[in-house]
Chains A and B, each alone.
Chain A
């Protein structure tokens, strides 16, 4: 079991938790040492995994999932701890590792209770990594829940503003989503199993493809709504602005950067892959919702005055784009969706990191009370502008690649309904420009609003490390998108085949 590389993605965070538990309560040095070591190890493992994956693929290994392993967990219900990765999950693991790494540095000076904070943070990352390596629906769901629960405490204890309300709202809405999800997963498992034994393995279910179409429709709605809540789909998105606004920096980063991606990932891995005929039949409902999400989030972001709210609504818009792309059900658009996940993950993590740093200095997030930060803290100002440009889809940044892939893929569906929504979605690039430039103009540029801010300092080394990591990744995808693009496209082949077969 331990010879499988993937399982270590869960074990390392657990070791991290154990290590943290051994640290003294306020022994910052030890806590940081554990966090930095383990997150670096994770990052190294993720990079190594990507290389190894590409090597194996290059060597002609064409099986759908690599590094597969499966261990019986609970015999009567046929639940396994089954792991395996394809190109998409590999990239998602890499993204998570990057953000955990950057998040560690972004919360360098967290207080109070640093140890407990990092403990929950580590638990959260356990859930995230576990989710992406699982190919057994039950363990997948379990890790999903493991990732959700720490959020409540992380926001409720270390948050700012109306944190109890937000934490409660976030947790309850996501739990509501997972109730739907649980129903959907149970339905899938029992309907695809045989002889009274449920089948949880995704590959096996897709292979059997034995779910009755009328049942598929119901289960599709359940699973898609369940994951859609986490993917901030309209009208289930309102946990996102409040939750993000109140969460501490690293949690916002991890949540918007990775956790919201769980939604999109689950949508295609389970809802669409396992229920292809329902996806063909019902995708229009969700295309309408996500299409609304895209434009709606962007318009909402235009009038917000709290930096985090702006970013949260922008996330609604961008994550709407992810689901929108996935619902287009063709290879190019879905590839774009995954690219958008990666891009949005990095970009929004960068945004939240920067907002946290700015807030840590100015103690306000209201853009009306700030201005001219470029003069006061040029490094952070420049980073903010870079993040902004990535968000509005500047070529050379990952956002551009992702959005263009989505648009060009989505345009492949040639009926009027799809066309209208694609064009509506493209409009978002203008609205995005409007709200991003509005913030940049007010916050970073312009005259200094508050004289007290003049004495503030620029970024420290750990903040620089955290931001540079993210910017390099953003630009890396933006400059050389093709290898990622190919990796993702190849991974979509089975899903697209399943969809083709279902027409």
Chain B
């Protein structure tokens, strides 16, 4: 029994779809952010897996993942700053109550 590429892709897909589900259904902004991290993580995993199985001699995928992790960290930091700010303004973190800027 070989651990081929598909074996690693299946958990990645599950992770991704769980993220999608969470993003569509949750209302708490932090929960949304968590779902986002799940999706990002699955993408990272994909990079790595593709790098390893399709282009084993290079390290591009790994470098991209590294950057993605760095960017994810930055993004999370800013997002949380915004969420806290919104919380100060309106008293909760419910995504449906933030509509002022829609048009």
Q: Do the two chains touch directly in the complex (Cβ atoms below 8 Å apart)? A: no
> Which A residues form the contact surface with B (CB < 8 A)?
none
